[in-house]
Amino acid sequence: MKLKFVILSALMLVVPTLATAEISVEEAWVRLPPPVADTAAGYMVLRNSGDQDVQIKGVKTDVARQPEFHSMSDHGGMMHMMKMEKVIVPAHGEIRFVSGGNHLMLIGLTGELKTGEHVMMTIETVDGENIMVHAEVRDMREGMDHGGHDTMDHGDHHGH
Ligand SMILES: [Cu+2]
């Protein structure tokens, strides 16, 4: 009886606990904030190629003291944002943080962000997996359409 028990225990130790998250990150970028702002919004798409939902515990980055995921909701034409208490990347699915919608809020910027530089972030899952993210800082004011107003300077014609 004792021997049988030992063998059973050994077998149980061998049973693998393969709960590896299959998270990938795409389309990660950070919107260049106005010079006086101490927050910036970040965007990315998190994909899960695994068979199980993956819950995100949080984000770490050197550029902000308090990065958090925010949800956006429309209350009678007023957009409200709230910290997401649970960020879950569904199995064989994705969760999107895109401009105008849910986003990553980089609260308490520790320095000035510059267009073209890459913000390094680490996304942590509740299972303890870390996913590295490189998010390019983009200045969205460039190339903005000013509604057809002609600001082009045709110059003066000096006929002397
Ligand atoms: Cu926000």
Tokens for 61, please give them: 């980055």
What is the distance in A from the centroid of ligand 1 to the CA of 98?
12
Q: Does residue 143 lie within any of the structural domains?
A: no
41: CA distance to ligand 1 center in Å?
7
- 3 state DSSP class of 61: strand
Q: How far apart are CA 69 and CA 37, in angstroms?
A: 18
Name residues with Cβ closer than 5 Å to ligand 1, which is an ion. Answer: 70, 81, 105
Using a pLDDT cut of 70, give the percent of the chain over it. 75
Position 159 in a domain: no
**pLDDT above 50: residue 132:** yes
Residue 79 binned pLDDT confidence (cut-offs 50, 70, 90): confident
In the predicted structure, residue 146 carries a pLDDT above the cut 50: no
| Average per-residue pLDDT for the chain | 84
Residue 81: count other Cβ atoms within 10 Å of its Cβ: 13
The CATH code of the domain that includes 118 is: 2.60.40.1890
Average pLDDT over residues 148-157: 40
> Judging by beta carbons within 10 Å of its beta carbon (0-12, 13-18, 19+), is residue 113 exposed, middle or buried?
buried
Distance from residue 70's CA to the centre of ligand 1 (Å):
5
pTM of structure: 0.75
SS3 108: strand
Task: Indicate whether 51 belongs to any domain.
Answer: yes
pLDDT at residue number 5: 60
Q: Is residue 125 part of a domain?
A: yes
Q: Is residue 52 part of a domain?
A: yes
11 has a pLDDT exceeding 60: no
Tell me whether residue 99 is in a domain: yes
pLDDT of residue 141: 83
With respect to residue 61, please indicate whether it lies within any of the assigned structural domains: yes
Ligand 1 centre from 79 Cα, in Å? 10
Pair 74, 82: CB distance under 8 Å: no
Please state the rounded mean pLDDT for residues 29-43.
95
In a domain, 110, yes or no: yes
Determine the average pLDDT of the residues in 109-118.
96
Residue numbers of the domain that contains 101: 18-138
19 CA to middle of ligand 1, Å? 31
Q: How many domains does the chain have?
A: 1
Percent of the chain with pLDDT over 90: 67
